[in-house]
Amino acid sequence: MSEYSLAPFIKKRKGRIMEKAIKRYFPLFVMPTLIAFAIGFIVPFVYGIFLSFCKFTTVVDWSWVGLQNYARIFVVNGKLDTSFLHSIWYTALFTVTSVLIINVVAFAIGMALTKGIKGTNLFRTAFFLPNLIGGIVLSYIWLMIFNAVLQNFSKTIVYSQWYAFWGLIIVVCWQQIGYMMIIYIAGIQNIPGDLIEAAKIDGANAWQMLRNVTLPMLMPTITICSFLTLTNGFKLFDQNLALTGGNPGKMSQLLALNIYDTMYGTTGWQGVGQAKAVIFFILVAIIAVAQNKLTTSKEVES
């Protein structure tokens, strides 16, 4: 009896002794990561927020200007500047379109590749391959192909912002469909087989199976894939820089490129660029928090 009540206590003590022993090795275990983390993230982040309220050209010649940078995002010399708003709107449209196309196509391919057809593994390999190629290299492959096709109509990919838009959509679809397909395949394979058999015995047709069995069971996977494509679309930079460079006339600038261009394109605008970056961060953070809320609430339900 007494042994029973003592056991957890002894265990806790042992854990504490171990904790004490490990604690002495703090400099070895945590210091390297902590220092790098401070240099690579904490200090630049905090200082970045501070600088968004300053006028500066390097990190040491700052002077406090308050909210002036944030005002200059939208109003320049008393005139309304819509370039940032345009890029927010352009990015939102781009993101929604890419999320829809990527997820629908990836789901369709995933369904087809779990039917046990011959050569499934080979197809999966082929579809996933573009995902490993980086955005810059990928974009130049497509830049060549787009311009080779469009020259027949005497146009290029930067003929208008909509040519650039669909060009970017094709590039990100090619890159991400394979990745999402892999996640969808894993999700589809996790649906219990007896569930599908039961539905079949009950006489469900293909459409009813999809609507009432497959899609509800796949909700967690769909959530993951939607948010992955959503954040990828919002943060897209490399493809935008390499494929269109923001042309024609900055009209195809997504948010990330717009910030980069403001910061490095014209001198004296670093503060405005930093202020835009803070707004960008807040937008991305809202998406991330929404995702967290949604996934945890889904977990509770199931």
Partner 1 sequence: MAKNKEQVSTVRRAKHSGILTVLFSIISILWISPMLVVLLNSFKRKAYIFRYPFGFSANSITDGWDKFMQGAKQIFCGTLNYTNGLKATKFWGCFGNSLFITVCSVAVIILCCSMCAWYIVRVHTKFTRFMYVMCLFSMIVPFQMVMFTLSKFANMLHLSNPVGIIIVYLGFGAGLAVFMFTGFVKGISLEIEEAAMIDGCNPIQTFFLIVFPILKPTTVTVAILQAMWIWNDYLLPSLVLNVNKYKTIPIAVQYLKQSHGQIDWGAMMAVLVLAITPIVIFYIACQKYIIEGVLAGAVKG
User: What residues from 194 to 213 belong to the interface with partner 1 (CB under 8 A)?
Assistant: 196-197
Query: Could you give the count of Cα atoms lying within 13 Å of 160 in the half-sphere of its Cβ?
Result: 3
The only residue of 172, 251, 259, 275 in contact with partner 1, by rule CB under 8 A: 259
Is residue 105 a contact point for partner 1 (CB under 8 A)? no
Which residues are CB-neighbours of 88 under 8 A, at least 6 positions away?
A: 255, 283
Rank residues 77 and 297 by Cβ distance to partner 1 and give the closer one. Answer: 297
Residue of 92, 94, 99 lying closest to 229 (CA atoms): 99
Helix (H, G, I), strand (E, B) or coil at 64: strand
Buried b (16+ CB within 10 A) or exposed e, 7-19: eeeeeeeeeeeee
The only residue of 6, 76, 96, 134 in contact with partner 1, by rule CB under 8 A: 134
Near partner 1 by CB under 8 A, which window of 1-9, 71-79, 80-88, 178-186?
Answer: 178-186
The only residue of 53, 90, 94, 127 in contact with partner 1, by rule CB under 8 A: 127
Cα–Cα dist 12/6, whole Å: 10
Cα–Cα dist 233/246, whole Å: 15
Bridge partners of 80, per DSSP, are 75
Is residue 238 a contact point for partner 1 (CB under 8 A)? yes
Near partner 1 by CB under 8 A, which window of 1-9, 92-100, 157-165, 278-286?
Answer: 278-286
Helix (H, G, I), strand (E, B) or coil at 63: strand
The residue assigned the tokens 């930079």 is: 237
Rank residues 100 and 195 by Cβ distance to partner 1 and give the closer one. Answer: 195
Supply the minimum distance, in Å, between the C-beta of residue 78 and partner 1: 27
Supply the minimum distance, in Å, between the C-beta of residue 133 and partner 1: 6
CA distances from 19 to 11, 13, 15, 22, 29 (A): 12, 10, 6, 5, 13
Is residue 179 a contact point for partner 1 (CB under 8 A)? yes
The only residue of 30, 71, 93, 294 in contact with partner 1, by rule CB under 8 A: 30
Near partner 1 by CB under 8 A, which window of 71-79, 80-88, 89-97, 128-136?
Answer: 128-136
Cα–Cα dist 110/104, whole Å: 10
Rank residues 38 and 71 by Cβ distance to partner 1 and give the closer one. Answer: 38
Supply the minimum distance, in Å, between the C-beta of residue 79 and partner 1: 25
The only residue of 82, 160, 190, 208 in contact with partner 1, by rule CB under 8 A: 190
The only residue of 7, 38, 108, 219 in contact with partner 1, by rule CB under 8 A: 38
Is residue 96 a contact point for partner 1 (CB under 8 A)? no
Query: Could you give the count of Cα atoms lying within 13 Å of 258 in the half-sphere of its Cβ?
Result: 25
Is residue 248 a contact point for partner 1 (CB under 8 A)? no
Is residue 219 a contact point for partner 1 (CB under 8 A)? no
